[in-house]
Structure 1
């Protein structure tokens, strides 16, 4: 700790002696279109099956999703609730969706329950952490940090201490030990004075000069701030006024605030002490709000919570000040709070070591504090501004111009020119470009005219677009933020992607894959493929319908009921393992058992045919020779163990398989 600003900061600790942030898919009317074609809406089939009392994880997941993606949260909550009641091991995303669905129907208590469950099962997910308010401080700092900002060490920094920047006219005013003269024994650097330097461009400056007038003395001066009309300047100085140097009872020379007036010749004169200065405590680092009606400063005066606190005081029209008020424990801690700055939006920035940070003093921000300070709402929030402003070293003296988008701050971080240096960067909007396409899940074909909606992390809609013939979309996003992009189109199930944008600008690409919910059906089509019916399992050497198979056959039953002109051929197949004659007889019994089940449920017998084909119609090269049987995997054999429900006729049109 060899810098003057460090001394200024430490003296607040030791005695504060000197100066140093989904739309509803609509099925086309079968009444009008029986003559030409027909459709199957799988969500309606699933609903019909579920309402008959059948239960399975897959059934309830698909039903819940079909309503969730259409924002029909009452029905989504119903079917996700049925899913949870099965008490099966699930993808954790279903707990999150269920919680949001419950929140969508204002069942907040139940929603909270399932968000806690989600957090327990996926503790590293930021959504669960945010809900539980248990995000650790490093995560918070990381969220606020910007990797895309390049910080510049200003060219006029010296090997001595330079810090505490304020813009004035076409330049900046800052404190520096470059003035020469007597040295301060604490660090063997010259005492601090205020200097000005004119801007050439954003990072280039002219000649550094001492501030004009009677401000600088043989002791320390720093932390200047100017009234909006440019008439007054408030600054910090040792308790040295009218050539009198004063100490408290312990022999300590305290810091004090002073006000200077701009003379007609452009110099700062008429130095006045602030009326609440004292020999017994320090007052330093002034900052004014936009209108110049309030002055914020740091002090260890009576009523301070810690080593130094931020205070506020009214500024009168003549430049005099009212009585100071401590900002309270919502801002101040038992540690050091110092170097306040108020931007034109009314946001307070200050440095502190009383809050969790990256190390040393960090810069913190309290949004809209200036608007709240005179209201009954004293619920100030404090946020670490993150890197690159903050580091593992001391970071302080934050100043920003929201018009020019220029930030200055001071730091004794490694790589600087001296003990403390002034750094700058431009405030840029970190933007991400997300692009993507909407395609068919099974065929990968482009899906024109789909609707793509962008949501924020809390589910609020930000923007929506309809894709053109190229099925592409793009959105401009912020950095380090959570978003959700959802695509939907009539007769398709929606798809969505949730993601957090990186902190550095880059292009993101998404592929949203929609699965057909409404499909055209024609003779020769296989309902098993259309309805995504897997293998219908029977118990070993049995042909009676098992419960899990019954759920799948219920889908076929629903379609047959919906289309009374439909006739189907039920076909059961096996793999090559086992004797051929046995496989043929067993598969035939199973096909006929399936047919009888549908007849018992009210389907006319003449609409159904059934036959088992054993191993005679394989779909791959897992032939019945011993070498082929042994060389195939279980998954390959499974492809041959299938059930087919071939539409032989519908609406007067018949299946000619020879032409197929």
Structure 2
């Protein structure tokens, strides 16, 4: 099938070639602290430990997360930074969170660096891909494709070429070879002219008429665009003006941009070439931004990256143009970029052979380009393939959309059409998306009613919030192709959040939000080591002095004892069964006493502390060292017995009766 998109482009080839405010459960004074019990808020303990200069990856992870989930990005960035300085192997998710925290304090350069590291460690994660504008095009095309769109081949199409639509007044203007007359030798169809057809109330079209005035000639005219005030029209024509037909040194007649003015009779005349036209290169396919201050077009002028590029130029008040500027390498490739269209939101659509697509020319989109150019921001313009059904394995081009009526026009030479190129249209179906799910306890999977679920946009601005009922169920209406963050918070619980990007199609969006208790109820006989998630406190071999890594963990106990002056504890040190029993008992007792003395030196009254070593007398499993037992126990099982306990013997006047526990 011969195609106008190809012969117009042949002229180019020959001629053109994206704050939680967690409800901080306040720790009340001891005398009224939830009646008889105290509560430990882990994040406060960790902050106190860290502020004393103690360092560990676990400490910084938990502390940074506590601020991150409260949307306190300055503090979160500080402690994530401390975590990164540890130079330890960590979950890549922390790089992502650190990058967002830095972005939250407008340290964009550092944020970019850490997002790049995140992308290196998780190259399949779409968040990093979107940030770096590196997407898996195949999955991206499928994600952006729509199966709810019904294409309509316009009734005005002919067996010849019809393409390049723009709305004008109450109808559309397009290019067509239907006019008869001399034929273009490349495809043996008549040369193109511009036509206007009025759209009727029932979405059909009236009589197709040649556009009024002096625009159409015996050579090609196509791709018209109208200024917002209706005074000017820019369009494409062969290098033919005032009856002069010009070719370059190789005998090729190039495409050029022209400007026409609407006269009092409603006809287009006073045709002028734009000043940067040339006999040596082509300039074609103009589109204007919503204010008419910027004109975008395609050209192979000097400075072009490939066969044809997209350029932008200022439009002066009198309709004259400034100096063109190439949009750069994020839009333009070594292939063909052509047929630009700028919608009223400032999003650029264009066709390209230089980016991975479905075949031939595909239509691509880059959002917000016009605003970026106006503000002089960076020229990194992420692009996306608009997907099916606009794109196909054929040539798809000439995209135009009306964001108010949701009406889209585009051109294609796909199979099943009436002619070489046809104009297709559709009305964009409304997408209704719900994100819904439940709030659950991370450890028990129980539903957590009365939690507050908050929805934020990609900039961290709160959009909506809900307090879930007994079913812990939440739901929010969301827009397609948007980035959101959803967060849950509840008093005495840590927060949870999930960042997600909505699809461009109707589908279910299910989500679970998992939270765990941040404040744990403590009472006599509880072990602070378990409450504070203190692992084994290691001592050097055959030693009882406090090592640095052990000191960090003991600081957590110190913080709790300082906060609750009525608390008394019994420090218990245990070993596994290996080694002489009597020696194990003495060694563990020295370690327990060493821990007690450390706390006393830090200001805890001696009468609040007891300490004893039990050696291997209180194993927590059956890994005794009798020959019948020892052989089946692994090193990990023996390790469970090498533990430290900090048993609360009394608090708030209540004592521990271990015989009843």
Q: Which moved more, 1:577-586 or 1:2-11?
A: 577-586
Structure 1 residue 592 displacement after superposition: 4.6
Match of 1:248 among 246, 249, 261: 246
Q: Which moved more, 1:488-497 or 1:474-483?
A: 474-483
1:326-345 equivalence runs, <5 A: 327-330=324-327, 339=339, 341=341, 343-344=343-344
The superposition leaves residues 147-201 of structure 1 with CA deviations (integer Å, 9 ceiling, x where unpaired) of 2364625264566433222446776554445677875432234555667778799
Q: What CA RMSD, in Å, does the superposition of the two structures yield over aligned residues?
A: 5.2
Match of 1:562?
563
Distance, in Å, in 2 between the alignment partners of 1:38 and 1:126 is 44
Match of 1:274?
271
Seen in structure 2, the aligned counterparts of structure 1 residues 210 and 444 have a Cα distance that, compared at 3 Å, is same
Structure 1 residue 530 displacement after superposition: 1.0
Give yes or no for the alignment of 1:36 onto 2:33: no
The superposition leaves residues 429-479 of structure 1 with CA deviations (integer Å, 9 ceiling, x where unpaired) of 656533233333334333344333334445454444443443333333444
Match of 1:412?
413
Match of 1:421?
422
Structure 1 residue 533 displacement after superposition: 1.3
Seen in structure 2, the aligned counterparts of structure 1 residues 116 and 384 have a Cα distance that, compared at 3 Å, is closer
Q: Which moved more, 1:58-67 or 1:76-85?
A: 76-85
Contact 2:366 2:384 in 1 (8 A): no
Contact 2:362 2:392 in 1 (8 A): yes
1:438-517 equivalence runs, <5 A: 438-457=439-458, 459-502=460-503, 504-517=505-518
Structure 1 residue 3 displacement after superposition: 1.6
Structure 1 residue 409 displacement after superposition: 1.0
Structure 1 residue 10 displacement after superposition: 2.1
Seen in structure 2, the aligned counterparts of structure 1 residues 28 and 345 have a Cα distance that, compared at 3 Å, is same
1:134-149 equivalence runs, <5 A: 135-136=133-134, 142=140, 146-148=144-146
The superposition leaves residues 480-535 of structure 1 with CA deviations (integer Å, 9 ceiling, x where unpaired) of 54443333333333333334445544333333333333222211222121111112
1:351-370 equivalence runs, <5 A: 351=351, 358=357, 361=361, 363=363
Unaligned segments of structure 1, at least 5 residues: none
SS of residue in 2 equivalent to 1:45: helix
Give yes or no for the alignment of 1:6 onto 2:3: no
Larger radius of gyration: 1
Match of 2:164?
164
Structure 1 residue 254 displacement after superposition: 7.2
Distance, in Å, in 1 between the alignment partners of 2:79 and 2:424 is 57
The superposition leaves residues 610-651 of structure 1 with CA deviations (integer Å, 9 ceiling, x where unpaired) of 444555555456577756554455444444443322222222
Give yes or no for the alignment of 1:49 onto 2:49: yes
Match of 1:386?
385
1:633-652 equivalence runs, <5 A: 633-652=634-653
Give yes or no for the alignment of 1:65 onto 2:83: no
Give yes or no for the alignment of 1:396 onto 2:394: no
SS of residue in 2 equivalent to 1:537: coil
Contact 2:162 2:423 in 1 (8 A): yes
Q: Which moved more, 1:631-640 or 1:292-301?
A: 292-301
Distance, in Å, in 2 between the alignment partners of 1:240 and 1:413 is 31
SS of residue in 1 equivalent to 2:550: helix
The superposition leaves residues 108-133 of structure 1 with CA deviations (integer Å, 9 ceiling, x where unpaired) of 776676566656666676666777xx
Structure 1 residue 567 displacement after superposition: 2.5
Unaligned segments of structure 2, at least 5 residues: none
Structure 1 residue 653 displacement after superposition: 1.4
Seen in structure 2, the aligned counterparts of structure 1 residues 27 and 144 have a Cα distance that, compared at 3 Å, is farther
SS of residue in 2 equivalent to 1:524: coil
Q: Which moved more, 1:166-175 or 1:304-313?
A: 304-313
1:516-527 equivalence runs, <5 A: 516-527=517-528
Distance, in Å, in 2 between the alignment partners of 1:593 and 1:283 is 84
Match of 2:553?
552
Seen in structure 2, the aligned counterparts of structure 1 residues 567 and 276 have a Cα distance that, compared at 3 Å, is closer
Seen in structure 2, the aligned counterparts of structure 1 residues 649 and 162 have a Cα distance that, compared at 3 Å, is same
Seen in structure 2, the aligned counterparts of structure 1 residues 3 and 655 have a Cα distance that, compared at 3 Å, is same
Contact 2:298 2:310 in 1 (8 A): yes
Contact 1:171 1:197 in 2 (8 A): yes
1:68-467 equivalence runs, <5 A: 68-98=68-98, 100-101=100-101, 135-136=133-134, 142=140, 146-148=144-146, 150=149, 152=151, 154=153, 156=155, 160-167=160-167, 172=172, 174-177=174-177, 184-189=184-189, 191-192=191-192, 222-223=222-223, 247-248=245-246, 272=269, 274-276=271-273, 323-325=320-322, 327-330=324-327, 339=339, 341=341, 343-344=343-344, 349=349, 351=351, 358=357, 361=361, 363=363, 384=383, 386-388=385-387, 389=390, 394-413=395-414, 418-428=419-429, 432-457=433-458, 459-467=460-468
Q: Which moved more, 1:560-569 or 1:96-105?
A: 96-105
